[in-house]
Amino acid sequence: MHIKKGIGDWVFDIFNLILMVFLMIITLYPFLHVFFASISDPAAVVQHRGLLLKPIGFTTGAYKLVFKNPMIPIGYKNTLIYVTVGTAINIFLTTLGAYGLSRKNVYFKNHIMFLITFTMFFSGGLIPTYLLVKNLGMADTRWALLIPNAISAYNLIIMRTSFEGIPVSLEESAKLDGANDFTVLFKIILPLSMPVVAVMILFYGVNHWNSWFNAMIYLRDRSLFPLQLVLRGILISNSTEAMTAGATTGADIEQVGETVKYATIIVATVPILFVYPFLQKYFVKGVMIGAIKE
Amino acid sequence: MTDLTNRETIEINVPNISKWEIIRKDVARNKYIYLMLLPVVAYYVIFHYVPLYGAQIAFRNFSPSKGIWGSKWVGFKYFEQFFDSYYFGRLLRNTVLISLYDLIFGFPAPIILALLLNEIKNDIFKRTVQTVTYLPHFISLVVVCGMILDFCSRDGLINNILNYFGIESIPFMIQPQWFRTIYVASNIWQGIGWGSIIYLAALSNIDPQLYEAATIDGAGRFKQALHVTLPGILPTIVIMLILRIGQLLNVGSEKILLLYNPSTYETADVISTFVYRKGILEASYSYSTAVGLFNSLINFALLIVANYVSRQLTETSLW
């Protein structure tokens, strides 16, 4: 069915097109600006007024300084540990929970489900959790970033919903053949649930990648710091100091400091930008699964 | 023993016995399932219910050396101290205002984007816009805040642009009046594309026949959007709104911690950042737990009210 477009439709379409292009520009420009500035001559960047539409001069000095900072590789290494080990723990426990709570005829299922969903809406708060983690002797160890957030109730519910959608007949015939629940879970349910497992890996993985707050409150030992906490030191703490102290002291150091910041941002985001196009569809799928749950 | 008491014990015990019997059989049949659920339940008890139990230090004069039970019970002392303090009004105002602005401007933004994307007929252009606008969601908060601080600094990008138009530089990050605007605007910048996915999903579930019928009835694009599209995604909007209201006082403290500084506390300091400073940095455990508990209770109450109102008005609710 095709309807002839009126003047109003044309006006709307053009307006919409311009708006969308504008939206893309303001989304992308900040990254371009950071990139151009990171390879520009530091003194010229500070002098420059207005938008930066191409690099001014060319130097990789800022990147050399970034890679000289020993905390960057340490942060990367730690983040890699937290992402892989943390996500493995997340997936293991979430799968166990989702399987048990998706089975029929389990007497305490609803009790346990209530126990879990209640925590989504009410919690003891930051301080009691902090004291608990300290009392358990996890403070200043890697465990503090791996165990206290081992399961997300939201993700568990998504996974449970997905497990519930698998036909019961598969499980029943396997049980007739003498399979127990571990066999059913690992041999039948999980192989059929790889898409949702992929989504869970991404959700949990990105969370570990982005997380810095827990590291800040629990870790003192700098050799355990994840990348984001290292970045916070470079991008946030320094900049606020410089701002409040005033821009009069050590102008040269500050100029280099600016481009080093830009280079740090690029070094910290490039890995994500590379995998992003491949991961995007899984993320979108994950949001959809979450939506169906409602 | 009289007849009467005998009968009583029988009447009470019979259902109990059969209930235990059911449970015993259930545990025997599902022993592997319970074995799997054991670490999950243990995790929730230890890391969610023990802190919930530990939250009673809000009512005690807690010191770590004495433990929870050894610390003296002081009732509502810390709550009163908080309500009477200079900070109470400021924190409540900041928390509510930042949340409210974020709700008023941030909540409709992805819905509008989804509706506008829905009107784009060129699939490649549409997908390009989507891919680009999802991108900021994947940039870590620390990096985004680092960029905000840099762009908003006295000689940063935004002031460069302002200077270009002949406007004097504004020290955005140290003037309190700008904090909320920066917070809300950057939230929209980072979240608008990602937030639209759920509405686009809801849009794709609308029956195309409804549009055909509307076209036959002579409805133009605007009327179709108003009478078919919007009602079609209304349940999704309502659910998202309830969840959002339940989090109204849970302002993203991580972002504020990264963006604020003492000169902007006046507008930027919220309950959760205050709890962090008092509890973690100053070790006033009981006081900060009381403040945090107050925050949790208000959130919980808001969620229940929002859910109730929504159930009455739209028949959509969380439970």
Mutate to test the interface with A, among B23, B26, B35, B36 (most CBs of A within 10 A): B36
Q: Residue range A82-89: average pLDDT?
A: 97
User: What residues 186-205 of chain A have any CB closer than 8 A to a CB of chain B?
Assistant: none
Same-domain status, A85 and A56: no
Q: What is the pLDDT of residue A91?
A: 97
- The answer to whether B48 contacts chain A (CB < 8 Å) is yes
How close B141 gets to chain A, by Cα (Å)? Answer: 7
Domain that holds residue A161: 71-222
SS3 state of residue B65: coil
Asked if B119 lies within 8 A of A16 by C-beta distance, the reply is yes
Is A232 part of any domain? Answer: no
Same-domain status, A165 and A33: no
Residue B181 has pLDDT above 90, yes or no: yes
- The answer to whether A237 contacts chain B (CB < 8 Å) is no
- The answer to whether B22 contacts chain A (CB < 8 Å) is yes
Tens of pLDDT, residues A224-269: 999 999 999 988 886 444 444 443 444 445 556 678 889 999 999 9
- The answer to whether B252 contacts chain A (CB < 8 Å) is no
- The answer to whether B79 contacts chain A (CB < 8 Å) is no
CATH of the domain at A122: 1.10.3720.10
Asked if B296 lies within 8 A of A122 by C-beta distance, the reply is yes
Q: Residue range A153-182: average pLDDT?
A: 89
Tens of pLDDT, residues A199-209: 899 889 989 99
- The answer to whether B115 contacts chain A (CB < 8 Å) is no
Residue B28 has pLDDT above 70, yes or no: yes
Average pLDDT, chain A: 86
Q: Residue range A85-90: average pLDDT?
A: 97
* Cα–Cα dist A186/A205, whole Å: 22
CA-wise closest residue to A203 among A121, A272, A119, A287: A287
For the ranges A278-282, B67-71, B295-299, the lowest mean pLDDT is seen at A278-282
Tens of pLDDT, residues B74-106: 999 999 999 999 999 999 999 989 989 999 999
Most confident of A38-47, A168-177, B141-150: B141-150
Name which residue leads in pLDDT, A4 or B270.
Answer: B270
Is A204 part of any domain? Answer: yes
Asked if A240 lies within 8 A of B293 by C-beta distance, the reply is no
How close A284 gets to chain B, by Cα (Å)? Answer: 7
How close B2 gets to chain A, by Cα (Å)? Answer: 37
SS3 state of residue B226: helix
Q: What is the pLDDT of residue B303?
A: 84
Encoded amino acid at A58, one letter: F
Encoded amino acid at B27, one letter: V
Contacts of A168 (CB under 8 A, 6+ apart): A104
Domain ranges of chain B: 3-73, 83-314
Whole-prediction pTM: 0.86
* Shortest CA distance from A28: residue in chain B: B132
Same-domain status, A42 and A17: yes
- The answer to whether A274 contacts chain B (CB < 8 Å) is no
CA distances for B286 relative to A53, A125, A148, B47, B65, angstroms: 53, 12, 21, 19, 14
Same-domain status, A130 and A216: yes
How close A56 gets to chain B, by Cα (Å)? Answer: 15
Residue B189 has pLDDT above 80, yes or no: yes
SS3 state of residue B167: coil
Same-domain status, A61 and A176: no
Asked if A26 lies within 8 A of B164 by C-beta distance, the reply is no
Helix (H) or strand (E) holding B61: strand B60-61
Give the angle B121-B124-B126 at the CA atoms, nearest 5°.
55
- The answer to whether B34 contacts chain A (CB < 8 Å) is yes
Same-domain status, A131 and A178: yes
Same-domain status, A115 and A155: yes
Asked if A280 lies within 8 A of B131 by C-beta distance, the reply is yes
Is A274 part of any domain? Answer: yes
Asked if B153 lies within 8 A of A243 by C-beta distance, the reply is yes
Q: What is the pLDDT of residue A56?
A: 85
How many domains in chain A? 2
Asked if B47 lies within 8 A of A147 by C-beta distance, the reply is yes
Mutate to test the interface with B, among A21, A26, A127, A131 (most CBs of B within 10 A): A127
- The answer to whether A174 contacts chain B (CB < 8 Å) is no
Q: What is the pLDDT of residue A260?
A: 87
Instruction: Supply B238's token pair.
Output: 């309502």
Asked if A126 lies within 8 A of B292 by C-beta distance, the reply is yes
For the ranges A274-283, B35-44, B160-169, the lowest mean pLDDT is seen at A274-283
Domain boundary among A207, A222, A237: A222
Is A231 part of any domain? Answer: no
- The answer to whether B274 contacts chain A (CB < 8 Å) is no
Asked if A291 lies within 8 A of B202 by C-beta distance, the reply is yes
Is A228 part of any domain? Answer: no
Mutate to test the interface with A, among B120, B140, B254 (most CBs of A within 10 A): B140
Q: What is the pLDDT of residue A254?
A: 54
Q: What is the pLDDT of residue B315?
A: 73
Name which residue leads in pLDDT, A51 or A220.
Answer: A220
Q: What is the pLDDT of residue B178?
A: 94
Is A264 part of any domain? Answer: yes
How is chain A classified by DSSP, letter by letter?
Answer: ------HHHHHHHHHHHHHHHHHHHHHHHHHHHHHHHHTS-HHHHHH--S---S-SS---HHHHHHHH-THHHHHHHHHHHHHHHHHHHHHHHHHHHHHHHHSSS-TTHHHHHHHHHHHHH----HHHHHHHHHHTT-TTSTHHHHSTTS--HHHHHHHHHHHHTS-HHHHHHHHHTT--HHHIIIIIIHHHTHHHHHHHHHHHHHHHHH--HHHHHH---GGG--HHHHHIIIIIIHHHHHHHH-TTS-HHHHHHHHHHHHHHHHHHHHHHHHHHHHHHHHHHHHHHHHHHH-
Q: What is the pLDDT of residue B154?
A: 83
Q: What is the pLDDT of residue A3?
A: 54
Is A81 part of any domain? Answer: yes
Same-domain status, A104 and A214: yes
Q: Which residues pair with B61 in a beta bridge?
A: B72
Same-domain status, A95 and A39: no
* Shortest CA distance from A291: residue in chain B: B198
Residue A276 has pLDDT above 90, yes or no: no
Is A202 part of any domain? Answer: yes
Asked if B288 lies within 8 A of A127 by C-beta distance, the reply is yes
Same-domain status, A62 and A80: no
Average pLDDT, chain B: 88
User: What residues 20-79 of chain A have any CB closer than 8 A to a CB of chain B?
Assistant: 20, 23-24, 26-28, 30, 33-34, 46, 48-52
* Shortest CA distance from B32: residue in chain A: A181
Q: What is the pLDDT of residue B19?
A: 85
CA-wise closest residue to A69 among A185, A289, A222, A284: A222
Name which residue leads in pLDDT, A288 or A7.
Answer: A7
Encoded amino acid at B267, one letter: T
Of B51, B133, B198, the CB nearest to A27: B133
Tens of pLDDT, residues A151-166: 999 899 889 988 988 8
Same-domain status, A194 and A267: no
Same-domain status, A203 and A106: yes
Q: Residue range A36-60: average pLDDT?
A: 83
* Shortest CA distance from A119: residue in chain B: B48
Residue B13 has pLDDT above 60, yes or no: no
Asked if A106 lies within 8 A of B202 by C-beta distance, the reply is no
- Domain B83-314: state its class: mainly alpha
Tens of pLDDT, residues A111-152: 999 999 999 888 888 999 999 999 999 999 999 999 999 999
Asked if A228 lies within 8 A of B164 by C-beta distance, the reply is no
Residue B251 has pLDDT above 80, yes or no: no
Tens of pLDDT, residues B116-174: 999 998 999 999 999 899 889 889 999 999 999 999 988 888 988 888 888 888 999 98
* Cα–Cα dist A262/A35, whole Å: 7
CA-wise closest residue to A38 among A275, A271, A256, A274: A256
CA-wise closest residue to B173 among B142, B150, B141, B139: B150
Give contacts of B141 with chain A, Cβ < 8 Å.
210, 212, 228
Q: What is the pLDDT of residue A253?
A: 52
Q: Residue range B209-226: average pLDDT?
A: 85
